[in-house]
């Protein structure tokens, strides 16, 4: 089997799916890319059993065939080659792969393609279409709030609930929660699924900068994404997602509206002086003034800043983990944000002061108990 392909075109496609390949996988052959040629089209597959990605490109080839090629050594070789046509020659008896270029020849040991795990197909699927812009925004707004606690697998992914009127994306780690809703995506049938964090990270890094349509299909066990010439199939998390709606406080008489970047900058500075274990910062709302303070008693560090804000409701003093607040505010794009509170021991809500017509973002963060220093 022999084929000729542009070195840079091949490298571009391999780089798009290389994130799936893990070192020391459960099945050693998964350290390889699966190359399959059919009618002068090369299909390349990478997999870690949970997630698989495929891409295609045109090549010059006279016969069909397949081979598993070591991923790391192939990518490193192509990265260091100038743009040129390269010829792959495969010996099907020994699975040896020889790459010929203007610079020289490189031999590497391939493996039998039949040993590569079969990629699941998505049958009896529910289908929904969305744009890369919407999908990328949904992932960016939720993925940072997923949990890394493998004992609570449902929280290690993003929950997606499709309804006839909207689609809701939810992520939580037990300390914070993000609900991102789009009214421009809907499904007449209605369905819900939990997509693992790794698959979403791979998807986010592969989505093109230009806005193109993404076809999404899913059934009980797998989800399938297709855009441009890339396909991704991932196994869903088969767990029950927590009842998140009951956690969101409805009655929040205290409301503060503040410039997002001013608030974010102040938090970043104050957080430097907070306890390195709790990252606790104290927000004290008095009239239209917000006092942000932190102290680390172990090192006698303390800091405070005052900001002006719009405030409705009674004066309140509440503590939060600064890291969570900084991450949430960094992910919002609005000029101003609104914070809603009910009591110092109840969750606080962070919302953009103005929302896009098609989206509805709500972020929730649990408070930390304040030590009563003066």
Cα 188 to its chain centre, rounded Å, is 26
- Taking alpha carbons only, the member of 201, 204, 198 closest to residue 236 is 198
Residue with structure tokens 């699966």? 34
Q: Are the C-beta atoms of residues 76 and 7 closer than 8 Å to each other? A: no
What pLDDT tens digit does each residue of the chain (374 aa) get?
999 999 999 999 999 999 999 988 889 999 999 999 999 999 999 999 999 999 999 999 999 999 999 999 999 999 999 999 999 999 999 999 999 999 899 999 999 999 999 998 888 888 899 999 999 999 999 999 999 999 999 999 999 999 999 999 999 999 999 999 999 998 888 899 999 999 999 999 999 999 999 999 999 999 999 999 999 999 999 999 999 999 999 999 999 999 999 999 999 999 999 999 999 999 999 999 999 999 998 899 999 999 999 999 999 999 999 999 999 999 998 999 999 999 999 999 999 999 888 999 999 999 998 765 43
Q: Maximum Cα–Cα distance for the chain, whole Å?
A: 80
**pLDDT at residue 372, rounded to an integer:** 58
**pLDDT at residue 356, rounded to an integer:** 86
Do domains 2-115 and 249-365 share one topology? The answer is yes
Composition of the chain by helix, strand, coil, percent to 5: 20, 40, 35
Question: How far apart are the C-alpha atoms of 171 and 177, rounded to whole Å?
Answer: 6
SS3 81: coil
Q: Indicate the class that CATH gives domain 2-115.
A: alpha beta
> Within 13 Å, how many C-alpha atoms sit on residue 85's CB side?
9
Q: What is the pTM of this model?
A: 0.91
- Domain ranges in the chain are 2-115, 126-245, 249-365
Q: Are the C-beta atoms of residues 97 and 108 closer than 8 Å to each other? A: yes
Question: How far apart are the C-alpha atoms of 217 and 226, rounded to whole Å?
Answer: 9
**pLDDT at residue 371, rounded to an integer:** 66
Cα 191 to its chain centre, rounded Å, is 21
Pick the CATH number of 126-245 from 3.10.150.10, 3.30.460.20, 1.10.3730.10, 3.30.1390.20: 3.10.150.10
Q: Are the C-beta atoms of residues 203 and 132 closer than 8 Å to each other? A: no
> Within 13 Å, how many C-alpha atoms sit on residue 4's CB side?
6
Strand partners, 99: 88, 106
Fold of 249-365: DNA Polymerase III; Chain A, domain 2 (3.10.150)
């Amino acid at each position: 089997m022999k084929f000729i392909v542009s070195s840079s075109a091949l490298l571009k496609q391999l780089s798009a799916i290389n994130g799936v390949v893990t070192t020391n996988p459960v099945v050693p052959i998964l350290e390889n890319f699966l190359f399959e040629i059919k009618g002068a089209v090369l299909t390349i597959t990478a997999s870690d059993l949970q997630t698989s990605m495929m891409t295609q490109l045109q090549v010059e080839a006279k016969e069909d065939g397949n081979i598993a090629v070591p991923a790391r050594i192939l990518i490193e070789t192509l990265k260091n080659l100038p743009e040129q046509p390269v010829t792959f020659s495969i010996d099907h008896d020994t699975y040896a792969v020889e790459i010929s270029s203007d610079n020289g020849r490189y031999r590497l040991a391939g493996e039998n393609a039949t040993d590569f795990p079969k990629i699941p197909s998505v049958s009896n699927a529910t289908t929904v279409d969305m744009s890369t812009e919407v999908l990328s925004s949904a992932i960016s707004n939720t993925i940072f709030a997923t949990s890394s606690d493998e004992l609570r697998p449902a929280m290690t992914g993003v929950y997606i609930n499709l309804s006839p009127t909207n689609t809701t994306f939810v992520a939580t780690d037990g300390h914070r929660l993000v609900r991102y809703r789009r009214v421009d995506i809907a499904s007449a049938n209605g369905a819900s699924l939990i997509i693992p964090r790794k698959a979403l990270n791979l998807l986010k890094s592969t989505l093109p900068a230009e806005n193109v349509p993404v076809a999404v299909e899913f059934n009980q066990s797998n989800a399938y994404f297709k855009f441009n010439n890339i396909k991704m199939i991932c196994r869903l998390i088969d767990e029950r997602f927590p009842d998140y709606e009951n956690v969101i406080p409805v009655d929040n008489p205290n409301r503060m509206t503040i410039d997002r970047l001013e608030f974010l900058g102040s938090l970043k500075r104050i957080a430097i002086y907070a306890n390195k274990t709790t990252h606790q910062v104290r927000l004290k709302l008095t009239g239209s003034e917000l006092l942000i303070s932190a102290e680390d008693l172990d090192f006698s560090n303390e800091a405070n800043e005052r900001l002006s804000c719009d405030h409705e409701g009674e004066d309140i003093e509440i503590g939060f983990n600064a890291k969570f607040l900084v991450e949430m505010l960094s992910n919002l794009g609005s000029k101003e944000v609104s914070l809603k509170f009910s009591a110092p021991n109840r969750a606080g809500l962070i919302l953009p002061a103005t929302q896009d017509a098609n989206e509805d973002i709500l972020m929730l963060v649990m408070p930390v108990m304040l030590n009563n220093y003066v």
